[in-house]
Amino acid sequence: MSLDYRVTGGGPLRGSLRVPGDKSISHRSIMFGALAEGEIEVNGFLEGTDCLATLSAFRQLGVRIDTLAAGHVRIHGVGLHGLQAARQPLDLGNSGTAMRLMTGILAGQPFDSVLIGDESLSRRPMRRVTEPLKRMGASIETTEAGTPPIHIYGGRELVGIEYMMPVASAQVKSAVLLAGLYAHGKTCVTEPAPTRDHTERMLMGMGYGLERQEHVVCLHGGGHLCGGRINVPADISSAAFFMVGASVTPGSDLLLEHVGMNPTRIGVIEILRLMGANIELLNEREESAEPVADIRVRHAALQGIDIPEALVPLAIDEFPVLFVAAACAQGVTRLSGAAELRVKESDRIQVMADGLQALGIRTEVMPDGLVIEGRGYFDGGEVETHGDHRVAMAFVIAGLVARGEIIIHDCANVETSFPSFLASAQHAGIDVEAWT
């Protein structure tokens, strides 16, 4: 379905808002709940198309999952060895997280599986996952380019390995650890920089023993996961759009409720604070092994900065909207060390640069980053998202400080991560509408 957005301004952003549940945790809640012994109840589950694809896939693998209410599901776990062969390829839509993590799980099964996705997912690199899994003894095939579909041949004995990741990636780390649940011996993953640790937190929360030291995490195969309850916090990646919107729009004072504050995910807050943002954390607490807080954001004058490379892995999904913040700041913002952005749902460096330039912002594209000359406002114009949900939402935020309407093309994939985005944006004070 073709879906475009039109933004004609808005603001200030005021009041309170709770964005949907964290996508990364929602994916994992279904996967780990399916592999647990006993029932798992999940509250705050994100009912976006990505996470629903994961839910559907596990139903096809023989797991009973009941939908009790909006965002509330009950998973009847089958244990590590209770999955059944699917009758057809598992279609994971647009979700790289689902495909990479499920490859790790299915590598240890006694049956064959095929993973497929949409046009965008079918172009994304999978060798970063399949190569370490093959070292563990898995039998996996992709296209010659290393892209989906992924054919996984079951019945292979896996052995634990010590894997040093060449590129920091929570998805690769998680895939190897999940295969390690089925491997003989010990599996260790060393990451070159910290990445989100939802997998480790959830495994430990469900009673599975892990060894963690600095950048190394290890586990032994042959354990089991226990049932229980998971409360999914609001997604900081979704909250980031409104953090930037409130920061750049005069008069804004917005409270974002119950947001996940995992220390491997708060790079967006640290970067915005370095730029001069007025961000206050309130009511900090911990739920289901994850830190949570309310975030109060008020308008502030932003300054361009050189983004520290150490923060890049901690904000990798938030850079589209951070580029919008940079365009609204005074001075130049430079990002480097972010080549990973080129293999997301789109080439986010080039796609965002093209969109910013279409709205009058000067940029310089680099192989691993972007230089943005801040101007404080955008011209009106039209931008192409190339089907990337985070690009679409980022340019909605740009519309708050645009001198003319912004038309944003190809926005249907916003449903993958933030199905209520339009209503939330309108509630917060953004003048945006959609049409097909």
pLDDT 10s digits, 60-97: 999 999 999 999 999 999 999 999 999 999 999 999 99
Contact 427, 32 (CB under 8 A): no
Closest CA to 35 of 179, 154, 171, 134: 179
Statement: residue 106 has pLDDT above 70: yes
257-311, pLDDT tens digit by residue? 999 999 999 999 999 999 999 999 999 999 888 999 999 999 999 999 999 999 9
Please give the pLDDT value at position 94.
92
* pLDDT for the residue 436: 86
Instruction: Give the active site residue among 50, 91, 118, 317.
Output: 317
C-alpha–C-alpha distance, residues 358 and 381, integer Å? 6
Q: What is the pLDDT of residue 288?
A: 87
Contacts of residue 397, defined as CB under 8 A and 6 or more positions apart, other chains included, come to 241, 242, 244, 245, 248, 321, 324, 430
C-alpha closest to that of 243 among 261, 225, 219: 261
Known catalytic membership, residue 317: yes
Nearest to 384 by CA among 367, 363, 421, 359: 359
Which of left, alpha, beta for 79 (phi over 0: left; psi -120 to 50: alpha)? Answer: left
Q: Is 131 helix (H, G, I), strand (E, B) or coil?
A: helix
How far is residue 397 from each of residues 10, 131, 182, 252, 295, measured CA to CA in Å? 10, 39, 44, 13, 18
pLDDT band at 145 (very low <50, low <70, confident <90, very high): very high
In tens, the pLDDT along 340-354 reads 999 999 999 999 999
List C-alpha distances in Å: 281 to 14, 20, 99, 247, 278: 16, 19, 34, 15, 10
Q: Place 410 in a pLDDT band, splitting at 50, 70 and 90.
A: very high
- For 223-268, what is each residue's pLDDT tens digit? 999 989 999 999 999 999 999 999 999 999 999 999 999 999 999 9
Q: Residue 193: what residue type?
A: A
* Span 40-57, pLDDT tens digits: 999 999 999 999 999 999
Mean pLDDT across 20-33: 97
CATH topology of domain 4-20+233-435: UDP-n-acetylglucosamine1-carboxyvinyl-transferase; Chain (3.65.10)
In this prediction the pTM is 0.91
- Please report the pLDDT score of residue 259 as a whole number: 98
The amino acid that residue 239 corresponds to is: A
Q: Within the chain, which residue ranges are assigned CATH 3.65.10.10?
A: 4-20+233-435, 23-231
Region class of 257: left (phi > 0), else alpha (psi between -120 and 50), else beta: beta
Q: Tokens 């009847």 sit at which residue?
A: 76
Residue 2 pLDDT: 84
Distance CA 258, CA 287 (A): 10
Q: Which of the following CATH numbers is that of domain 23-231: 3.30.360.10, 3.65.10.10, 3.20.20.370, 3.30.70.360? A: 3.65.10.10
